[in-house]
Amino acid sequence: MDGPRSAVEVEQVVEALTHGDLEVVGQITDSSNIALLCEVRGDAVNQAAAATGAPVHVIYKPVRGERPLWDFPDGTLAGREVATFAVSRAAGWDVVPPTVLRDGALGQGSVQLWIGDPFAPSTNGRPVDICSPRSVPDGWLSVIDGEISGGRAVSVIHENRDDVRDVAVLDAVVNNGDRKGSHLQRDRVGALWGFDHGVTLSADPKLRTVLWGWAGEPLRDVDVVRLERLQGLLDDPGSRLSTDLARLLPRDDVRALVRRTTKLLRSRRHPRPSGGWPAIPWPAI
């Protein structure tokens, strides 16, 4: 299924993901945590699928299948997936597929809309790639040089496009610790979507991403508008976002989100690598 375009379509998909029946149809075998491919069925799905006529597929990540991490509290990764969607949606980035927290076959977990056909390879191109260091195409930004197997020199590059920059700003806000190139995908009409947000929203600085092409540059006006909108919602304890985050995250992590938003508004610049944490995930792509 393609990503929803309007607020109404997002609500329809959220409704389907929340109340539809989940039927497990496969498993992502190379995932570090249990990740099950499901088809959503039932009356709640009809409107969500009406635009494309395609089945609604989702990735279901049960809490009980999360591998313990030394730097994140146990059992919190699913909540972080949902919280990142909530932040993206509330502030207006709209680059995270609809994601909900609900029960499934293995108990409570995150359920996120699968963009595209899970049984067919994507043919829409990749916003992050590698090339020869001397052959960076027009419209792309080089992030880091390195070597691949066989000793061939390459540059990790990403598109110099507004929607990719939107993701870079969102990642700085949610403190994304694992923005690999493979965690970005375009749907059939070219809309960009980012996923795999289990290691986000930590209270400790952990930004690790391949989207460093704008490091140190001034934020755009649209970035400032979104950050101001986010700050207003975070300052309002009665807002839907504040209520959702209080349910999904430890209190210290919500406070750190407020601090990062304030810091970005004060600097009005994309962050630079801090030097105290690996700046690029592994593998980068």
Per-residue pLDDT band for 164 (boundaries 50, 70, 90) equals very high
Give a yes or no: residue 252 inside a domain.
yes
What is the value of pTM for the model shown?
Answer: 0.93
User: Could you give the CA distance from residue 194 to residue 73 in angstroms, rounded to a whole number?
Assistant: 23
Give the dihedral of Cα atoms 123, 129, 133, 138; nearest 10 deg: 60
Question: Does the residue 69 lie in any domain?
Answer: yes
Our count of domains for the chain comes to 1
Residue 241 belongs to some domain of the structure? yes
The pLDDT, as a whole number, for residue 49 is: 58
Contact between 285 and 156 under an 8 Å Cβ cutoff? The reply is: yes
The answer to whether residue 91 sits within a structural domain is yes
At residue 158, does pLDDT exceed 70? yes
128: in domain: no
Kindly report the CATH number assigned to the domain that includes residue 32.
1.10.510
Domain containing 38 equals 7-116+161-267
pLDDT at 204: 94
Residue 232 located in a structural domain: yes
Whole-number Å distance between alpha carbons of 46 and 22 = 14
Q: Could you report the per-residue pLDDT of 13-36, keeping only the tens digit for each? A: 999 999 999 999 999 887 888 999
Q: Rounded mean pLDDT of the chain?
A: 91
- For the segment 82-126, what is each residue's pLDDT rounded down to a tens digit? 999 999 999 999 999 999 999 999 999 999 999 988 877 766 678
Answer whether residue 129 is part of any domain. Answer: no
User: Does residue 278 have a pLDDT over 60?
Assistant: yes
pLDDT at 52 over 60: no
**Which pLDDT band, with edges at 50, 70 and 90, does 50 fall under?**
low
pLDDT tens-digit series, residues 218-254: 999 999 999 999 999 999 999 999 999 999 999 999 9
Q: Give the pLDDT score at 81.
A: 98
SS3 114: coil
Confidence (pLDDT) at 53: 58
Q: What pLDDT is recorded for position 1? A: 66
> If pLDDT is split at 50, 70 and 90, which confidence band does 127 have?
very high
Is residue 35 situated within a structural domain?
yes
